[in-house]
Amino acid sequence: MNLTDQKILIIGAGSGIAAQLAADLTASGAKVTVAGRSTTPAVDLTDEDSIRRLASDLGEVDHIVSVAAAHANGPVSGLDRDAVHTAFDAKVIGPLLLAKHFAPHIRPGGSILLFSGVAAWRPSPGLAVMATTNAAVATLAEALAVELAPIRVNALSPGIIDSGSWDHLDKQAFFADVAAKNPARRIGHPSDVSAAAITALTNPFITGTTLHVDGGGRLA
Ligand SMILES: NC(=O)c1ccc[n+]([C@@H]2O[C@H](COP(=O)([O-])OP(=O)(O)OC[C@H]3O[C@@H](n4cnc5c(N)ncnc54)[C@H](OP(=O)(O)O)[C@@H]3O)[C@@H](O)[C@H]2O)c1
First to last CA, the chain: 34
The helix/strand/coil state of 56 is helix
Q: 89: which DSSP letter?
A: I
Q: Identify whether the C-beta of residue 96 lies closer than 8 Å to the C-beta of residue 66.
A: no
Pairing mode, strands 61-66 and 106-115:
parallel
At 1 the pLDDT is: 81
Chain centroid offset of residue 130 CA: 13
Beta carbon of 197 within 6 Å of any ligand 1 atom: no
Reduced to 3 states, what is the DSSP secondary structure of residue 90?
helix
Residue 120 CB–ligand 1 contact under 6 Å:
no
Superfamily of domain 7-205: NAD(P)-binding Rossmann-like Domain (3.40.50.720)
Per-residue burial over 60-97, b if 16 or more Cβ lie within 10 Å, else e, is ebbbbbbbbbbebeeeeeeeeeeebebbbbbbbbbbbb
Nearest atom in ligand 1 to the alpha carbon of residue 157 is 7
The residues with which 8 forms a beta bridge, in sequence order, are 32, 63
90 CA from centroid of ligand 1 (Å): 9
Residues of the chain with pLDDT under 50: none
Which residue has the CA at smallest separation from atom 43 of ligand 1? 14
What's the number of CA atoms in the CB half-sphere (13 Å) around residue 153?
26
The whole-number pLDDT of residue 115 equals 99
